[in-house]
Structure 1
Amino acid sequence: RRGPGQAAQENRRKQILRTLKDQEKQQKKATLGLSARMNQAGLGDKMTAFWIWSAVLGVIVFGAALLTPAPTWTAPFLAFAAAFGLPRWVVGFLAARRMKKFVEAFPDGIDIITRGIKSGLPVNDCMKVIGQETPEPLAGEFRLLVENIAMGVSVDQALERMYQRMPTPEVRFFSIVLAIQQKTGGNLAEALGNLSVVIRARKMMREKIKALSGEAVASAGIIGSLPPAVIILISLMSPSYIIPLFTDQRGQLMLMGGGFWMATGVFVMRRMINFKI
């Protein structure tokens, strides 16, 4: 039988868990939204231009689909995919590429801070050096970080904004190290040096996994590209042979079924070879 103290402790533990879950949901909402992805891709908060280009792309694809021998009912679906799917994919691709460049240069930035602290420079001055001497996007993110701190934003809040622009574990580790050092003290240079070693080890592990899974990635790409390639070749060599596949109802059902199972297979293969570190 639990006493009042144990019950209060259990309630406090549940409250902490609920608070952490709420914070995690807020962070996901802040980092996975379209506006956040635009900022992560370095495109700024240009939502109006994004929707205009999406609408123009959808209209162009709709008109092009009507001019092809494909069934008319496919035009709205292709236009919808082009207007809402393709632009988001491009933004996600640009954001992932930009974050990859940031992560690759991030250990060098931490090393600059470590050497600067050992030589007697304040942390803010070390961050300014990163904003001036390192390549983009690392330099731009640290310039924004220094500007936010200079405007009176606390270090924790400035690092949280940086995490929203660059939602990577490396930035989270960096903010945790600085927060712990501010509250408890200690050798910041040594802590950041250890963090740099950990981040470089994570990078080496990612490269090792990429090398080991290269054969599986190539196999998935070849298997996924074979059916579209065969359809294109037959369309060029003997159009009359493959036209019934697009015009006849049975052929259309076969195309939809084949596309569904191909997408399922590619998704499963991607999940099998996609490792998160």
Structure 2
Amino acid sequence: MKSYVIGGNGFLGRHVAAWLGKDGVVRKAPAYDDADPVKWQATVLEDMRQFAPDVVLIPGASQAMGDDAKAIQALVASNCILPCLVAQQLLEHSPDSTLVVFGTSWQFADSEGFRPFNLYAASKQAGQDLLTHYALRGLKILQLIMFDTYGEDDSRRKLLKILQDACARGEEIGTTPGEQEIDLVHIDDACAGIKSAIREIQGWDASQGVLVRGLGSGRPIRVKELISRVGERAGKALRANIGERPYRPREVMQAYRNYRRPAGWKPERTEFQDTSCPEDRDGNLAN
């Protein structure tokens, strides 16, 4: 299988590329050019056309979290315009190829349906809605709902990394009351899930629209429990002042559960889970 990865230098992208490279040929798109995004898009599309991939994945995207004009332009360009350009080119030059894009659990803030936490999440849903047009024209498109990934080489300032670093240094850290849930998935499990979903979509009828699958552990834990687990694994207590900080506006308290996993996939390496939470026989969270 020939895979073309757009955004292959980020945490998710480089791991996906490595996993797909174990039993196939992988090509990474040129690195994003912030100075001339339009020229960069054209370069990527031409590079992709020459490579003629079986699968195109877009794990990289703008991480803008604001609502200002710059954030709007960046989010729409990466989550809406670029996927549509890629989809159109695949239909024209490689109609038997598959397009894989990545959503976020933040699209479903404390809800079983679409309720975006922020503009970033809203743009992810908008991109999926736009891609339905290309799916109905015959292109197989997979959208994967991602949760909080982590791994040993993860340098991003995510909650787990912040807690682990504070524990290692013996520093005090102020936290919220910690009642909110977090669904953590080891990056190796996420990559295995991506490969499973790519296999699954080969039998998908594109006339049904975009195939959506979720890569959650199915067993989210509360942040205050995560704090305890981090200390246990480090062999010393994490000096957390729980309740010192307030929740954010519109804090998401419950992890998204209303999704289907790729057929035959469930996390194997993920450590930070609520093991008392029941799962159904397919590995999905039982309702």
TM-score (norm 2): 0.24
Bigger proportion of residues as helix: 1
Bigger proportion of residues as strand: 2
Structure whose CA Rg is larger: 1
